Amino acid sequence: DQFNVTLYGVTAVVFMTLQAFAGMWINAFIVSVICMAWVKKKTLNSNEKILLLLGCSRFWHLCFSWLYSFLSIIYPHCFYVQPIYTPTATLQRSFEFSNLWVTACLSVFYCAKIANFRNSFFIYLKVKIDRIVPWLLLGSQLLSLAMGILVYNTSSKEHSNNFNCQGNFSKQSIKIDVFFLTYFVIGSGFVTSFMTVTFSALLLLFSLQRHKRNMQTNSMKDLSMDAHIKAMKSILSFLVMYSVNFGFLILELTFTMNEENLMMFLIYAFLYAFPGVHSLILIFSNPKLEKTLLRILPCLKCK
């Protein structure tokens, strides 16, 4: 039995390490390219600002998530020490929320820039979106910070209440009200960001579909039609990915207190894959990032 637990632990650590470091490399690439462009141009447009913050959030989210998972599998007793568990859990959850909310900001930005509606509020949003983006990003980081503070306070209370004189945790002594409040707020944050992304993506899909119909009616060029179909497929694939990611986040909250290792392994396997896979899609949908990646890949092969 001990051999099986050890084998599971080694397998899980190796698999999650490969996923996490691949995602970290992809997001570090995005951050590096945008920072180099920032140095050259001395300025960044709204899309680059969002991608820069998204790349940083995902990099650190994967970093602290991997550290948390690595310690919980290889050396779980280290979490009994207060200075280790609380900062790790706080930073992991804070960067997770930053990742989700900056992704929501990116969806709102694309919707405002690309979609076409005659609604007065939407027209105002389209005109002012470049000025609104910095405030959206600031708001997303303040929400993430508030969530980090909540997790920090909850983690500190759980440790002070559950740690007895023998140095063991007592699961019976967990305060249900604190646990419920924390997970209710976390779940609400997940749902709100998910609804923002879903609403923005559906509006964008509806606008592109209507524009495609108009081009078909007016017998417009096939090249423009192909571009719209490609954009619709990209948005639809992202919406499906984000929906599945949201489902796994809810499962993570549900199975956190359980001992089902296989289920948690499957949940974390997808959660680790999402930041890297979606960032890879963003790279190939951005001409500058795609061109830079294709230029450095032959160099890596030669080395």
pLDDT at 161: 55
What CATH number is attached to the domain comprising 187?
1.20.1070.10
Q: For residues 184 and 14, give the distance between their C-alpha atoms in angstroms, rounded to a whole number.
A: 32
pLDDT at 80: 64
pLDDT at 173: 44
Q: For residues 95 and 66, give the distance between their C-alpha atoms in angstroms, rounded to a whole number.
A: 12
pLDDT at 91: 84
User: Token pair of 13, please?
Assistant: 């650590």
pLDDT at 288: 86
pLDDT at 259: 53
pLDDT in tens, the chain (303 residues): 444 456 667 777 888 888 889 999 999 999 999 999 999 988 899 999 999 999 999 999 999 888 888 877 777 676 666 666 677 778 888 888 899 899 889 888 888 888 777 888 888 888 888 999 999 999 999 988 888 887 777 666 655 555 444 444 444 444 555 566 677 777 788 888 888 888 888 888 888 777 777 766 665 555 455 655 666 677 777 788 888 888 888 777 776 655 556 777 777 788 888 888 888 888 888 888 888 888 887 765 555
pLDDT at 240: 83
Range of the domain at 57: 1-302
pTM above 0.85, yes or no: no
pLDDT at 216: 66
Whether the Cβ atoms of residue 65 and residue 90 lie closer than 8 Å to each other: no
Q: How many domains does the chain divide into?
A: 1
